[in-house]
Structure 1
Amino acid sequence: MEHSPRLAVFVLAVAALFAGACAAPFDPGEEDAGDAASQAVRSDNALTSNALTSNALTSNALTSNALTSNALTAGALARNPLTAAALRDPAARSVLKYIAGCALPAGERILLEIDGVEVAFVGELGLAPRWGEKGGACDAECRSWVSGCVLARLNYLGEKVSISLRGDHEGLRANKAERRAYPRQEATYYGDIFAEEPLYYACLAPGASSIPRVCGPSLDGCVLDVVGPCGAACEKQRDDGSFPGCRAMVRGRSGELRPDEPPYPGSLSVFLEER
């Protein structure tokens, strides 16, 4: 295995607390989702907004392009001088942890030698598995899925919480037990964290007026552009409660808000445990 330049080791310590959301519970009904394994993400959902917006990996357009234009592998990350240099930044390594977890399937990992210590960036959901193959790259659809997933794992206080991620993707199936354990709709997340000017969007679940886990006590100053209710910004709600095909909202000539084009295929809805 080829190794990256020697980097400084960074350990992010977080507390295991919980912040709820103000939305009505989703009724999982009696539909059986089969024997698909639960995709609830029960740890490490503690990405801070500061790490996302100021890291050297995705907040720099040249480095972000170098990342998505090449395979998400140890060799590609180490060989490219832009990504290798960016990963000296602790915030960049924090973001890469979530990128790898979202893109790569469980059982796969990226091993990089950091200051003589081998550090693993572990796959989890497999939303863009081809990116991790030799010669792979992250196209527009890949960017959408990985972006929605990373944004869904933001936390205002940098705390670990337990969430259920759902969406129109094979890697996001939620079985009946998971739906019952995580009934509270929070929000749907989408955008493009790799764009030259990164796009961070969220829409509110039915009945919700805030996203305290991600935005804190108020939507004012939230790192995300909260566009309003998901019912207005997205396509028809799916049976699992998730909202697909969400869009940004723009103001028309007469002042009304309407969905922009095109929709984001990688729209991920988050559900929380009952309080």
Structure 2
Amino acid sequence: MSQPVFTRNALSASALTANDRVIATLMDTPLTSDAIAREPVLMRALRDPLSREFLSYAVSCALPAGKWVSVSIDGERYGFQGQLELASRWGAPSGHCNADCRGWVSACMLARVNHLGDTVPLSMRGKDKALSSDAAERSAFPSREGAYYGDVFARPQLRFACTSPGSTLIRRVCGGTGDDTEGCVVDVLGDCDDLCSREAPDGSFRSCKGQGRTITAVVTIFRE
């Protein structure tokens, strides 16, 4: 898939993630146009362009292709399109984002941060069926960049990544050379081989460690 630009500021500094009340409301509200429109605290937060960018990627990760969420802010309508279907129940009329939803949407969003601002083709893989890949995709994207996992809806956010030994491809997310990840928007914890379970047949990891816990919602990124 092509990688549109999801900025580090939208991930880490939007009004949607600024305080406990806003983020709790987002988690408890169905990811539908009508439900969001009924929540003044969310509508106020969505006046912030970074919040709209954050919501756009949350919708893209959570909902299937063909599903849309739209909101009208100060007379202008904004639409957010589903794509990957990692948490489709959040988009049900009585939906909410539970722990499983938080894990998969977070891993997806972390994997799509782009520090450089360039369009980068990615192969996103993991144990969720939405992240399955065929032989042609695996052949076209042979280079493992790293794995991403955490909880972007927590306060403070948990933003974890690991890298493939010898790879500097994580500079897409971190900037710099990819060797020195100090100051990266994600906490690069080390080599995936040391932090994660044995790789699956598609090269992805089924679980990785972060802050003393084992996290099972992991998105592994491969590059051309």
Measured against the shorter chain, the TM-score band is over 0.9
Q: Which residue is 1:42 aligned to?
A: 2
Q: Is 1:107 equivalent to 2:66 in the alignment?
A: yes
Q: Which residue is 1:264 aligned to?
A: 215
The answer for unaligned runs of 5 or more in structure 2 is: none
Deviation at 1:271, TM superposition (A): 0.7
Q: Which residue is 1:134 aligned to?
A: 93
Q: How many residues align?
A: 221
Report Cα offsets for 1:222-259 as digits up to 9, x if no partner: 1111110111111111111111211115xxxxxxxxxx
Counterparts in 2 of 1:187-226, with a 5 A limit? 187-208=146-167, 211-217=170-176, 218-226=180-188
Report Cα offsets for 1:165-215 as digits up to 9, x if no partner: 000001001111111111110010000000021110001123325611000
Q: Which residue is 2:124 aligned to?
A: 165
Q: Is 1:176 equivalent to 2:138 in the alignment?
A: no
Report Cα offsets for 1:101-133 as digits up to 9, x if no partner: 000011111122234343210000000000000
Q: Which residue is 2:53 aligned to?
A: 94
Query: Secondary structure, in 3 states, of the residue corresponding to 1:57?
Result: helix
Work out the percentage of aligned pairs sharing the same amino acid.
Answer: 44
Task: Give the distance between the partners of 1:155 and 1:209, measured in 2 at CA.
Answer: 14
Q: CA RMSD in A?
A: 1.3
Deviation at 1:58, TM superposition (A): 1.9
Q: Is 1:62 equivalent to 2:14 in the alignment?
A: no
User: Which residue type is aligned with residue 232 of structure 1?
Assistant: D
Task: Give the distance between the partners of 2:109 and 2:140, measured in 1 at CA.
Answer: 22
Q: Which residue is 2:198 aligned to?
A: 236
Task: Give the distance between the partners of 1:272 and 1:209, measured in 2 at CA.
Answer: 12
Q: Greater relative contact order: 1 or 2 (C-alpha under 8 angstroms, separation 6 or more)?
A: 1
User: Which residue type is aligned with residue 16 of structure 2?
Assistant: L
User: Which residue type is aligned with residue 233 of structure 1?
Assistant: L
Q: Which residue is 1:252 aligned to?
A: none
Larger Rg belongs to:
1
Task: Give the distance between the partners of 1:201 and 1:83, measured in 2 at CA.
Answer: 26
Residues 134 and 148 of structure 1: CA distance in aligned 2, closer, same or farther (over 3 Å): same
> Hey, which of these two has a bigger chunk of helix by percent?
2
Q: Is 1:150 equivalent to 2:109 in the alignment?
A: yes
Task: Give the distance between the partners of 1:124 and 1:239, measured in 2 at CA.
Answer: 24
Task: Give the distance between the partners of 1:127 and 1:76, measured in 2 at CA.
Answer: 20
Query: Secondary structure, in 3 states, of the residue corresponding to 1:179?
Result: helix
Deviation at 1:89, TM superposition (A): 0.2
Q: Is the contact made by 2:23 and 2:153 (CA closer than 8 Å) also made in structure 1?
A: yes
Query: Secondary structure, in 3 states, of the residue corresponding to 1:111?
Result: strand
The more displaced of 158-167 and 190-199 is 158-167
Q: Which residue is 1:35 aligned to?
A: none
Query: Secondary structure, in 3 states, of the residue corresponding to 2:222?
Result: strand
User: Which residue type is aligned with residue 97 of structure 1?
Assistant: S
Deviation at 1:53, TM superposition (A): 1.1
Report Cα offsets for 1:38-58 as digits up to 9, x if no partner: xxx2142x1111121110012
Counterparts in 2 of 1:65-80, with a 5 A limit? 65-80=24-39
